[in-house]
Amino acid sequence: MPTKSAKEESQQPPPTVRKCGTMQVHERLLRTVPGYREARDTSENHALRAAALPFAGRTGCTKIPVVVHVVYKTAEQNISDAQIKSQICSVLAGYVWDLDNPYVKNHKTGLHRLASMISYRDSLLSNAPKP
Q: Alpha-carbon dihedral of residues 24, 30, 32, 33, nearest 10 degrees?
A: 120
Nearest alpha carbon to residue 92 among 72, 69, 112: 112
Q: What is the mean pLDDT of the chain?
A: 76
Burial of 107 (0-12, 13-18, 19+ CB in 10 A): middle
pLDDT score for 27: 93
At 47, which amino acid appears? A
Q: Are residues 81 and 46 in the same domain?
A: no
Q: Residue 101 contacts by C-beta under 8 Å, 6 or more apart in sequence?
A: 95
19 has a pLDDT exceeding 70: yes
Tell me, yes or no, whether 47 lies in a domain: yes
On whether the pTM is more than 0.75, the answer is no
Tell me, yes or no, whether 90 lies in a domain: yes
Residues 56-72, mean pLDDT to the nearest whole number: 75
Tell me, yes or no, whether 119 lies in a domain: yes
Tell me, yes or no, whether 22 lies in a domain: yes
If residue 47 lies in a helix (H) or strand (E), which one and from where to where? helix 36-52
70 has a pLDDT exceeding 80: yes
The alpha carbon of 91 is separated from its chain's Cα centroid by a whole number of angstroms, namely 12
Higher pLDDT, 93 or 87: 87
Question: Cα–Cα distance between 86 and 110 in angstroms, integer?
Answer: 18
Q: Are residues 79 and 44 in the same domain?
A: no
pLDDT band at 131 (very low <50, low <70, confident <90, very high): very low
Tell me, yes or no, whether 87 lies in a domain: yes
State which residues form the domain around 102: 75-127
Residues 26-31, mean pLDDT to the nearest whole number: 93
Q: Are residues 79 and 48 in the same domain?
A: no
Number of domains in the chain: 2
Residues 70-96, mean pLDDT to the nearest whole number: 84
